[in-house]
């Protein structure tokens, strides 16, 4: 099945809003086996929307629109669509009552124009909006071009996503003409795309026209996406399982999770299961590791706190780093990284201490320690070590990658420990 | 002048890449007085690109393309464009030599297909790429539809932006038919859109068809964008100046900067100028304030470090918060916020201490202290105070807004001090 996405709203054309809806829908539809041929952004204007509907249905049976469903006079999508399919608008009393209650609960009068939210074109199915007031719409008919399917969704990303997942995806998946596609994504970190390819090596005995592997780089690591096409479900799952087993055998130490996992989420679960606590001593990352750990709800179960020792005096007084070693080896050095990790573990009373000391850039580099150099330290009751990395990105990305390395260092150490004490 | 943006690349359709190029170009062109009527994303396919060029030139004289300029066989934009305008491709020897040098400097052999990077359609101007190997192209002619202008840019955002700024923008600005538009953006924080509108009040004596004010909400605060149209430069500047003066008189305490300023950048400059240092005590923000302060290069001039006291034991032992007050008032309370700010200032030896203690959510709220409640504390040698805020966003946005409040508290305190001691 082919689809066009029509994203509606002046804010998309003047750069006030980045079209994240298009990327999200593109990924979701592609993963379902729908091929997205075009994405068009257009103003909230009758003529523009009609012209794009014409173009879309000449080439694809499925059109998904986003935006222009609000109650203000700028929001024209619903009236244009109703008119395009020659369907009169009726007020849905149940929906109107729901919108009224929404305002009542907030002790506010419902502005008159808001009643338009409850209008529905005749023959259109209403798609309930669990997180807002603008409902989505679904329509199907046939004309000279053949079948025409239409999903009309609001522009607010959270509302668009929840309506798509709850009501549009199931309608599409119920169709026999949707190709059977299965996916599984393995998440790696701590290795670049070309090194990962070399580590994994030749996969030709496992791959063919029905089974693909894609390397998808991102700032948190390379994602490995396995795609199985056009086979029946049982068979596809078995083939994905056997490819996954090969990937884990060859590159398992880099794989930290699957699907929508995050490194901090996976690590949090590992720490919670083992009843371990962690504290961080951050210089180059400036607090980012603590920030990422606390992005997980419930992180107080295992994260106690951090000392961000940007100034050397803080390294000495709060973390007990030797002033002599700071002078002798510099702040960006193995002994300082180890002492920071050890120091924060003991100061805060955590099971595990982890540290970063490095040069994020763009200034502060030397010949011996160029911008992008970082030492990541680790300490627990039994072990202590540090690792040097050299990265080549800008300040912001270097900080992200330093933090990722520190989080991954804890994850690998926990795995190593289990391999040694099975 | 009207424009269509044609963004080329399969990765835009399957959601692998969010179309940030379209947002950036949309904003830049709009600010120059070019009206962007359509943005289309399409696959790297000859037929699709030709069809979109036809549609675009039927409606707009200016087309800007991004993507598809690399050396691999997927990258077809240049050959399709040359063919569309019936221009043969020639090798530009100077460009070829430059590409060769690019590989030599990296001690790598130039792959054969890379030579296509040096091909230029006859009659096209070459736009040098200061940060990569794929040059941009510029073309102008007239046909039955009238004038046709074309800018062909690479898809890598950094390369696209630098070519646009250096070579496309000046070419467009040199044209007489480009409307004279001037902009100035004032950045506010610590106040919502509707409260800001109420504070600023009626501006009708200053505004008319030639002078507009837009309220643009974002996560760091509401931006106030002043736009002056179609007046000569001197006059436009004078009118913008007088509107800016009114806005500063009425809402000056919320305005922290202009244009591309960031709150942490503005605050950093204020601290550096005054020779003051800062330390942070973070609970709810988990390290985010330190992370944001250290996103500025050179922040070690004024930022000493943080104690992230996620666990109450860290509040007591590292920051000297009273265990009695923690029991009596809870961690999310005024006395604890004040003691955290005071404690980190003294522990780290900074001029200013700032703190956050709150409930980012989604769990942990109570009737008395719902999710989104935060106390922000401030301490210096002379003053100490704390402020309670209640926010209603999700965990990630709550953390961002807590951090923004803490940074802005320092900024306002520095301003207040100067107002009192002029």
pLDDT digits (tens, 9 = 90+) for A115-132: 889 999 999 999 998 877
Q: Where in chain A is the domain with CATH 3.90.950.20?
A: 263-420
The three-state DSSP-derived secondary structure of chain A is CEEEEEEECHHHHCCCCCCHHHHHHHHHHHHCCCEEEEEEEECCCHHHHHHHHHHHHHHCCEEEEECCCCCCCCCCHHHHHHHHCCCCEEECHHHHHHHHHHHHHCCCCCCHHHHHHHEEECCCEEECCCCCCCCEEEEEEEECCEEEEEEEECCCHHHHHHHHHHHHHHHHHCCCCCCCEEEEEEEECCCCHHHHHHHHCCCCCCCECCEEEEEEEECCEEEEEEEEECCCHHHHHHHHHHHHHHHHHHHHHHEEEECCCCHHHHHHHHHHHHCCCEEEEECCCCCHHHHHHCCCCCHHHCEEEEEEECCHHHHHHHHCCCHHHHHHHCCCCHHHHHHHHHHHHHHHCCCEEEEEEECCCCCCCCCCCCCCEEEEEEECCCCEEEEEEECCCCHHHHHHHHHHHHHHHHHHHHHHHHHHCC
- A19 to chain B nearest CA, in Å? 6
Nearest-by-Cβ selection for B26 from A13, A285, A311: A13
The conformation of residue B111, written as its DSSP 8-state character, comes to P
Cβ–Cβ contact B161 with A under 8 A: no
Contact B13 A287 (CB under 8 A): no
Q: How far apart are CA B299 and CA B140, in angstroms?
A: 47
Residue-level pLDDT at B69? 92
Here the tokens at position B286 are 């988990």
Contact state of B23 with A27 under an 8 Å Cβ cutoff: no
Does the CB of B313 have a partner CB in chain A at under 8 Å? yes
Cβ proximity of A49 and A89 under 8 Å: no
Question: Which residue of chain A has the CA closest to B317?
Answer: A348
Q: String of b and e for B59-86 (b: at least 16 CB within 10 Å)? A: ebbbbbbbbbbbbeeebbbbbbbbbbbe
Angle between helices A334-348 and B312-319 (to 10 degrees): 110
Tell me what pLDDT residue A232 has.
Answer: 72
pLDDT at B234: 77
All residues of chain A having their beta carbon less than 8 Å from the beta carbon of residue B311 are: 300, 303-305, 348
Angle at the Cα of B276 from the Cα atoms of B273 and B280, rounded to 5 degrees:
130
CATH number at A181-258: 3.30.70.2860
> Nearest C-alpha of chain A: how many angstroms from B417?
26
pLDDT of residue A209: 83
Identity of the residue in A15, A38, A396 whose CB atom sits nearest the CB atom of B27: A15
Which pLDDT belongs to residue A285?
Answer: 98
Are the C-beta atoms of residues B27 and A15 closer than 8 Å to each other? Answer: yes
Residue B141's beta-bridge partner residues?
B148
A205 to A229, A239, A243, A246, B56: CA distances (angstroms): 17, 12, 10, 11, 46
Where, residue-wise, is CATH 3.40.980.10 in chain A?
2-173
**E-only strand ranges, B359-399:** 373-379, 384-390
The answer to whether B347 faces chain A, any CB pair under 8 Å, is yes
**What is the rounded CA–CA span in Å between residue A296 and residue B396?**
9
pLDDT at residue B422, rounded to an integer: 63
Low-confidence ranges of chain A (pLDDT < 50): none
Task: Please report the DSSP string for B166-208 in residue order.
Answer: IIIHHHHHT-TTS--EEEEEEEE-SS-HHHHHHHH---TTT-B
Contacts of B344 (CB under 8 A, 6+ apart): B279, B280, B281, B306, B307, B319, B350, B353, B355
Structure tokens at B339: 């003691």
**Nearest 5°: phi and psi at A15?**
80, 10
Q: How far is CA A122 from the centre of its chain?
A: 37
Which stretches of chain B drop beneath a pLDDT of 70? 176-177, 179, 231, 422
Tell the burial category of A2 from Cβ atoms under 10 Å away from its Cβ (0-12, 13-18, 19+).
middle
- Check residue A29 and give its pLDDT: 95
Cβ-based contacts of A304 with chain B (< 8 Å): 310-311, 313-314
CA A241 to each of CA A182, A197, A262: distance values in angstroms, whole numbers, following the listed order: 11, 19, 22
For residue A276, the distance in angstroms to the closest alpha carbon of chain B comes to 14
Cβ–Cβ gap B360/A286 under 8 Å: no
CA nearest B249: which of B191, B199, B210, B206? B199
Query: Taking CB atoms and an 8 Å cutoff, what residues of chain B touch A309?
Result: 305
Give the whole-angstrom CA distance, residue B85 versus residue B148.
10
CB proximity list for B115: less than 8 A, separation 6 or greater:
B91, B96, B99
Chain B residues within an 8 Å CB radius of A24 = 15
* Cβ-defined contact of B37 to A13 (cutoff 8 Å): yes
For residue B298, list chain A residues with Cβ-Cβ distance below 8 A. Answer: 363
Q: Is the peptide bond before B13 cis (omega within 30 degrees of 0)?
A: no
Residues 232-271 of chain A whose Cβ lies under 8 A from any Cβ of chain B: none
**Shortest Cα distance from A284 to chain B (angstroms)?**
8
CA distance B342 to B377: 8
Residues of A (210-229) whose Cβ lies below 8 Å from B = 216
CATH architecture of B2-173: 3-Layer(aba) Sandwich (3.40)
CB B17 within 8 A of CB B48: no
Chain A, 50 to 79: residues with Cβ < 8 Å from chain B are 55
Subunit contact B48:A42, Cβ cutoff 8 A: no
Give residues 76 to 135 of A whose Cβ lies within 8 Å of B: none
Instruction: Tell how strand A211-218 and strand B373-379 pair up.
Output: unpaired
From the candidates B306, B358, B399, which should be mutated to test the interface with A, based on the most A CB atoms within 10 A? Answer: B306
CATH class of residue range B263-420: alpha beta
Mutate to test the interface with B, among A162, A305, A313 (most CBs of B within 10 A): A305
Q: In what helix (H) or strand (E) does residue B216 lie, and over which residues does it extend?
A: strand B211-218
Cβ pairs A/B, distance under 8 A? 226
d(CA B12, CA B34): 24
Residue whose entry in the numeric block shows the structure tokens 């190709």: A179
Tell me which H or E stretch contains B278.
strand B278-282
Q: How far apart are CA B178 and CA B181, in angstroms?
A: 9
Q: Which of 272-311 (B) contact A at CB < 8 A?
A: 280, 282, 285-291, 293-295, 297-300, 303-311
Q: C-alpha angle with apex A208: A203 to A212, nearest 5 degrees?
A: 70
The confidence score (pLDDT) of residue A167 equals 96
Report the C-alpha gap between A399 and A285 in whole angstroms: 5
B22 contacts on A by Cβ (under 8 Å): 12, 15, 18-19, 41
Beta-bridged to residue A229, according to DSSP, are: A181
For residue B335, the tally of other CB atoms under 10 A from its CB is 18
pLDDT at A234: 78
Q: Which two tokens stand for residue A253?
A: 């130490």
Cβ separation of B286 and A286 shorter than 8 Å?
A: no
Q: Which residues does chain A have within 8 Å of residue B30's beta carbon, measured at their own beta carbons? A: 13-15
Interchain CB contact of B360 with A (< 8 Å): yes
Tell me, what's the pLDDT at B144? 78
Instruction: Give CA–CA dist A369/A379, Å, rounded.
Output: 24
Sequence-distant (6+) residues with CB within 8 A of A167 are A127, A128, A136, A138
The whole-angstrom distance between B387's CA and the closest CA on chain A is: 22
Bridge-partner residues for B52, per DSSP? none
Q: How far is A10 from chain B (nearest CA, A)?
A: 9
Spatial distance between the Cα atoms of B409 and B338, rounded to a whole number of angstroms: 13
Please list the residue range(s) of chain A that carry CATH number 3.30.70.2860. Answer: 181-258
**Whole-prediction pTM value?**
0.84
Tokens representing residue A262 in the block = 């995050």
Q: Give the contacts of B366 (CB within 8 A, at least 6 positions apart).
A: none
């Amino acid at each position: 099945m082919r689809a066009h996405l029509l994203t509606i709203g002046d804010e998309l054309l003047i750069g006030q809003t980045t079209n994240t809806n298009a990327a999200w829908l593109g990924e979701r539809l592609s993963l379902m086996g729908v091929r997205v041929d075009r994405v068009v952004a257009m103003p909230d204007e009758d003529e523009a929307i009609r012209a794009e509907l014409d173009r879309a249905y000449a080439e694809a049976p499925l059109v998904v629109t986003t935006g222009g469903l609000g109650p203000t006079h700028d929001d024209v999508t619903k009236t244009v669509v109703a008119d395009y399919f020659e369907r009169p608008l009726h007020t849905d009393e149940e929906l109107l009552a729901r919108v009224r209650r929404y305002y009542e609960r907030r002790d506010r009068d419902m502005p008159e124009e808001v009643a338009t939210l409850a209008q529905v074109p005749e023959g259109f199915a209403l798609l309930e909006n669990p997180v807002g007031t603008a409902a989505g719409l679904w329509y199907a008919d046939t004309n000279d071009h053949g079948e025409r399917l239409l999903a009309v969704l609001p522009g607010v990303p959270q509302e668009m996503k929840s309506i798509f997942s709850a009501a549009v995806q199931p309608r599409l998946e119920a169709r026999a003409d949707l190709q059977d596609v299965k996916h599984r994504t393995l998440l790696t970190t701590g290795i670049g795309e070309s090194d990962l390819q070399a580590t994994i090596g030749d996969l030709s005995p496992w791959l063919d026209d029905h089974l693909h592997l894609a390397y998808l780089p991102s700032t948190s690591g390379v994602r490995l996406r396995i795609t199985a096409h056009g086979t029946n479900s049982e068979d596809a799952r078995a083939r994905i399982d056997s490819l996954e087993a090969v990937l884990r055998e060859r590159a398992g130490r880099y794989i930290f999770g699957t699907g929508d996992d995050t490194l901090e989420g996976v690590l949090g679960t590992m720490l919670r299961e083992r009843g371990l606590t962690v504290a961080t001593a951050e210089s180059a990352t400036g607090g980012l590791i603590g920030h990422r750990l606390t992005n997980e709800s419930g992180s107080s179960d295992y994260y106690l706190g951090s000392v961000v020792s940007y100034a050397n005096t803080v390294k000495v007084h709060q973390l007990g780093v030797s002033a002599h070693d700071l002078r002798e080896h510099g702040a960006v050095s193995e002994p300082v990284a180890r002492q920071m990790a050890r120091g924060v573990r003991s100061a805060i009373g955590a099971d595990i201490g982890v540290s970063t000391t490095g040069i994020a850039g763009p200034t502060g580099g030397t010949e011996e320690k160029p911008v992008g150099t970082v030492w990541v330290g680790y300490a627990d009751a039994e072990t202590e070590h540090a690792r040097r990395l050299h990265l080549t990105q800008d300040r912001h990305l270097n900080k992200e990658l330093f933090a990722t390395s520190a989080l991954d260092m804890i994850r690998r150490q926990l795995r190593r420990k289990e391999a040694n004490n099975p």
